[in-house]
Amino acid sequence: MHHFRYQDNELFCEGVSVEALARRHGTPLYVYSQQTLTDNFRRLDGAWADVRHLPCYAVKANSNLAILRLMVELGSGFDVVSGGELQRVLAAGGRADRCVFAGVAKTEAEIVAALRSGIHCFNVESEQELERIDRLAGELGVVAPVALRVNPDVEARTHAKITTGTYENKFGIPFDHVESLYARAARKRHLWLRGLQMHIGSQLTRVQPFEEAVQKVAPLARRLKDRYGIEFFDIGGGLGIVYEDALASGDPAWWRTPRARKMLTPETYAARLIPHLAPLGLRILMEPGRFITGNAGILVTRVEYIKQTGRKTFVIVDAAMTELIRPAFYDAYHEIVPVRRRKAAVTECDVVGGVCESGDYFCKDRPLPLPKPGDLLALFSAGAYGSAMGSNYNSRPLAAEVLVHGRRAALVRQRQPLEAIWQWERPAPWQV
């Protein structure tokens, strides 16, 4: 569920009018619901109450400091994939000893900074990375906590660009190589074999791939616990969200529909995996990102023009792939609704942005109530991998972001001033 709904044909986020927010802060504008963020975290956390566990929020999904601060207040750990993300967590009041550091290309500077901050664990992606961490820990005179990321070679059956758990992907260490690498790592004085990690992909809507991966890797985790005393098994993230019928999914009754019953819920996810994990006696870490923030955010955009070519009706808006790249990058679906509902002819439309790329679109040939210039539209399920993947392409400023809590709203990122886009650029000394 989420807390976006119509009141008298006007879209509200919790108790605040979305139209009023757009008038105050302009568009494109991200709007987040704090209650939805809180509900999603607590629902997932509660589903795992029967085992020792720690949700580590995946910062890459949405790294706004206000959202990170909320996760700190809710008791979350964090999954970071860069030194910058670690610094963001610390800036939001989080602790490094509740962060796991993933990513295939950790630099020496990032590893040193994480060691000095007291990182909970490195999720190690390769043998060379393990050697680098050992060397740098030795130079600092510390012991580095590590967990090897095992690639279980399990097909997640999700989008090809977000599958991570097969040997075709760049992530992790092949399943058949992991035990021998743990044996070599155990002989290194500056490594602490603290856990085991895996992650098979994102936006999974069926439990079977998760269960298949856990069944394959759990016996390995048990052997590593017996031999090296590892403390945790990190099963990664990937729990999917609603993209189609996203507006309707805010209604509790929607969850009793046939479509909803096919969705993978946190309760089913936990119920199917805990029987395989509880006997291990290990703390279970997980890395939710999209599940927490995806349906907690919308992107509000204003219609600039309606353009009809004889073959197409283009709804041209002031948001673009610079604010939400997922449709261009993944051909991803985002539900699009009017912020203020009115009677209008339903027309097949392409909703497009103004970036000079043919791939800059939010939907193609979708039946929508035809808006007018000046109308506001809301793109749902934009709270994850929206703002976080934003860019300045075409010298467009980064969008503003608002967090709503009940009847209160706060600007949690101001719109980027144009001059800030090029503030670190300089002409060469020989240029007049």
Going by DSSP bridges, is the β-strand pair 297-308/313-317 parallel, antiparallel, or unpaired? antiparallel
Instruction: State phi, psi for 149 to the nearest 5 degrees.
Output: -90, 110
Instruction: Name the token pair of 273.
Output: 């995996």
Distance CA 59, CA 40 (A): 15
**H/E element, 365:** strand 361-369
Instruction: Note the Cα 152 to chain centre separation in Å.
Output: 22
Going by DSSP bridges, is the β-strand pair 376-379/336-338 parallel, antiparallel, or unpaired? antiparallel
Torsion sign over Cα 264, 265, 270, 272:
negative
Instruction: Name the token pair of 259.
Output: 């479509």
Residue 254 near residue 196, CB atoms below 8 Å: no
Per residue in 239-261, is it b (16+ CB within 10 Å) or e — as a string? bbbbbebbbbbbeeeeeeeeeee
Residue 210 near residue 202, CB atoms below 8 Å: no
Residue (of 428, 17, 53) closest to 274 by Cα position: 53
> Which sequence positions are flagged as catalytic?
356
Residue with tokens 């569920």: 1
Distance CA 17, CA 10 (A): 7
Distance CA 58, CA 287 (A): 6
**H/E element, 183:** helix 175-185
Distance CA 379, CA 332 (A): 12
Distance CA 158, CA 88 (A): 29
Distance CA 338, CA 28 (A): 14
Give strand pairing partners of 173. Answer: 150
